[in-house]
Chain A
């Protein structure tokens, strides 16, 4: 053991120097870009100073605008309006009749896809509360996993977005597999060592997803509570193109908003959602309401043919 220490220390210092170098170089690029802009256009600097705007943090202004828009939208929806209510009632009536009639011949996955077609907007964008409620209902009925877009008052930045392929996470110090991220996940290692690694830890890494906790509007304000709340929180991820579903757990933060993606999935999650070549696609992600921790992580096969209450008697 005594021989290991200097090497380990050296390795850590070397890694730190490398990451510091990278961080500083990136900062320098930012400073150069800022200086170039303000040198060429000093009136821009004045405008931004006068209005107390930091161009580098413009994403925060975007979030405010989107949140205000959504809030206005939901308030607007809550106002009784006959013309707006009628299609909703029609839709509910049609839903019931659909289930009563000839959908039984379809595979559950096909039923869910036809629901998605009906309920999801054309473009991938945050859903309204009423859209989320309808999809929750469809998922609960068809997949049979109890899910919620808002659970215990918490809600993701978006429940409909693009998921991208992530690397494996390091489960314990020294863990080595191919296609593994060099750092730990947002909640650290899954176990302190290889010897304390449990089957639960293995499953958690295997079926992990990444969500943009860093962009939650109150993330910094409620950090200690939210960090615990999101740690290994179970979610149901459904590929909106083929209906494949996975129960996964949140184990890292990201991806960066500028990637255009909203979630990330482990190789296993992505493989289950869309096969070995699936690296990006649109998904629904809802929290799994599982207070007793009974629902296992992993792919959800919900296509089994149910006998619809008719008991089969062996002749």
Chain B
């Protein structure tokens, strides 16, 4: 079964994916880098949630998120109940920010190259 997380839907990491492919010397290293990106997204996402959630509900959130990290209805349902309806949109924006921060400090020239490469029709052999 596919291991999707609720964050997957909202983070936009195509550039990070290309950056990893271009900067991994082996398949093992590439997969390790993918895992590291997962770690970064999750630490940052949890921190963003806790920043908005009253401390008495932190335990409840962690309980829910670590058990059902793929269940958007359950996780956002809990957060909307404790914080308010705006939390989902707020966190979506935060995840977009995480996406752009992910590339900070990584070879700024690459970003331009990546965009150039992704334009137009890919050549076939």
Chain A positions within 8 Å of B, measured between CB atoms, are 15-16, 18-19, 22-23, 25-27, 29-30, 33-34, 36-37, 40-41, 43-44, 47-48, 51, 53, 55-63, 65-67, 70, 126, 157-158, 161, 165, 167-168, 177-179, 181-186, 202, 205-206, 212, 214-215, 217, 252-260, 262, 267-268, 270-271, 276-277
Contacts and interface: CB of A to CB of B under 8 A. Distances in A.
B23 A22 contact: yes
Contacts of B68: 62, 65
B2 A30 contact: no
A178 B122 CA distance: 8
B47 A59 contact: no
For chain B, which range describes its interface: under 10, 10 to 19, 20 to 34, or 35 or more residues?
Answer: 35 or more
Interface string B1-40: 1111101110101100101111111110111111111111
Given A40-B47, A61-B69, A66-B2, A56 B38 contact: yes
B43 A34 contact: yes
A257 B123 CA distance: 26
Nearest to A183: B24
> Which of B3, B29, B41, B125 has most chain A Cβ within 10 Å?
B3
B40 to A, nearest CB: 5
A258 B41 contact: yes
Closest 5 CB pairs of A and B: A56-B39, A33-B43, A256-B34, A22-B23, A63-B3
A206 B17 CA distance: 22
Nearest to B121: A276
A47 B37 CA distance: 22
Contacts of A157: 1-3
A185 B58 CA distance: 42
Given A66-B1, A253-B27, A259-B17, A23 B32 contact: yes
Contacts of B23: 18-19, 22-23
Contacts of B4: 62, 66, 257, 260
Contacts of A67: 1
Given A183-B26, A262-B2, A257 B124 contact: no
Nearest to A276: B121
> Which of A58, A63, A205, A271 has most chain B Cβ within 10 Å?
A58
Contacts of B2: 66, 126, 157-158, 161, 212, 215, 257, 262
Contacts of B31: 214, 253
A253 to B, nearest CB: 6
B14 to A, nearest CB: 7
B7 to A, nearest CB: 7
A275 to B, nearest CB: 9
Nearest to A18: B23
Nearest to A126: B1
A25 B3 contact: no
B21 A58 contact: no
A258 B43 contact: no
A15 B25 contact: yes
Interface in B36-77: 36-44, 46-47, 50, 58-59, 62, 65-71
B40 A30 contact: yes
A23 B62 CA distance: 29
B109 interface: no
B108 interface: no
Given A40-B50, A59-B3, 7 more contacts: A19-B24, A34-B39, A44-B46, A58-B42, A66-B4, A181-B21, A268-B125
Contacts of B9: 260
Contacts of B59: 43, 47
